Amino acid sequence: MIQKLLSRTCNTHGQDSSYFLGWQEYEKNPYDPIANPTGIIQMGLAENQLCFDLIESWLEKNPGPAGFKEDSALIFRELALFQDYHGLPAFKNALVKYMGEVRGNRVRFYPNNLVLTAGSTCANEILMFCLADPGEAFLLPTPYYPGFDRDLKWRTGAEIVPVHCSSSNGFRITAAALEEAYHRAHKRGLAVKGVLVTNPSNPLGTAMTRRELDELVDFVVAKDIHLVSDEIYAGTNFAEPGFVSVAEVVADGRADACRGRIHIVCSLSKDLGLPGFRVGGIYSDNEAVVSAATKMSSFGLVSSQTQYLLAALLSDEAFTAEYVAENRRRLRERHDALVRGLRGIGIECLESGAGLFCWVDMRHLLSAVTFEGEMELWKKIVYKVGLNISPGSSCHCDEPGWFRLCFANMSEDTLSLALSRLQTFVGSCRNRPHCSGGDGRTRRQFLARWVLRSSPASDRKSER
């Protein structure tokens, strides 16, 4: 009876995805080194806990902003009273400066083009409301963040059309794949309003090359559609050749052709590790989009207290310079530890240089080269091994056997334990006839069989 009182919208959130189901299982039995040492280790959460000590040290040295003080005077009342949805100028100025810093100051951002939102989830949904009517579509390269099925579609009525990418070229976006997705959308009667990419990629951990960005910009200009570049992982890049923002491509002689159609999503959740602060933004040179998004942001504002504190933090140039460099060093160190550990037990990762996770190839551990085989393996890893990882099918990957493993939301000891558990599982798997295990020769034979039975279209699932 209670269920009947709810609207249809309430029943289409998408939490039946294995991505969310894994979280639910973790929450029932969370690992704790003392209280629950056999519990499930959370490797499905892209959270950065590696540099909290740097922020905590800054807070200890600068107690004023957290205590709502300015020049020793209490400003609690000013912050507690109503603030309009344009945001505090000091914070917007500090945020655009920080956006430039994490991009190597190769491009400049302006506060008047920035709309503050309560996190990137809110930012992406607002952009869908602004750019697409219900039933119109955005193209998304696969694999993509599972939450987009909720963030982009749930309340907006927009559609997602996958751009199929393959492991044969490291899941890179190609002009041919974009064209194929565009024509497939039109065959379904869908008007394509734009392309949305995550750069650096979630779940791949790769940054787009300049060539990919140029081809992508050429495509949206030719089709007269929008490009949304979700760059919330910009500050997590830790390897050369490095991250290139689409803003750099626009600034490099493409401003006229791109005017009004390029929109960047930013956040402080991933590089600063502050998802609980709910700080995101939309950056666009399209005045109509900025105006509409600013009005819509009233449904998801960033609190004045949060803006005041972070304005002080991000305005400290010595702190941000130290933080950006040290964060990259620690991310690289942790990433390399996971890659080495997995390689030692016969599991390889897609080469990556950004993000808080690795895209891990477990195809040789499948009992069958199907998505059913992938789910069977995933359930064993969650329930028997005690690791919550994200299966590739939840990210709409076309090839079964890929998984996303996060590495920055736990201690070194917990990561070592996770690798130890996985090593025990792979070792036991080698002794089973239905599983090829981690042996290198068997792995190569398995991958050869996969290549022979694959084709660009034959194994694709229908639109998910």
- Cα-to-chain-centroid distance, residue 219: 23
Whole-Å CA distances, 128 to 157, 289, 413: 9, 11, 41
Strand order of the β-sheet with 262-267 is: 114-117, 280-284, 262-267, 226-230, 192-198, 137-141, 159-163
Report the run of H or E that residue 89 belongs to, with start and end: helix 89-102
Catalytic residue list contains 283: no
The maximal CA–CA distance of the chain, rounded, in angstroms, is: 72
The active-site residue, picked from 149, 230, 361, 398, is: 230
Residues in the chain: 464
Amino acid at 307: Q
CA–CA gap between residue 299 and residue 267 (Å, rounded):
17
Whole-Å CA distances, 315 to 20, 30, 95, 99: 37, 38, 8, 12
Contacts within 8 Å (CB) and 24+ apart, 252-258: 254/217, 257/217, 257/221, 258/217, 258/221, 258/227
The active-site residue, picked from 126, 232, 262, 282, is: 232
**Bridge partners of residue 70, in order along the sequence:** 73
Helix/strand/coil for 401: coil
Catalytic residue list contains 223: no
The active-site residue, picked from 92, 153, 193, 270, is: 270
Catalytic residue list contains 233: no
Whole-Å CA distances, 171 to 151, 232, 255, 351, 390: 23, 20, 28, 11, 17
The active-site residue, picked from 98, 145, 308, 323, is: 145
Catalytic residue list contains 270: yes
Q: What DSSP designation does 209 have?
A: P
Amino acid at 106: R
> Catalytic amino acids?
145, 230, 232, 270
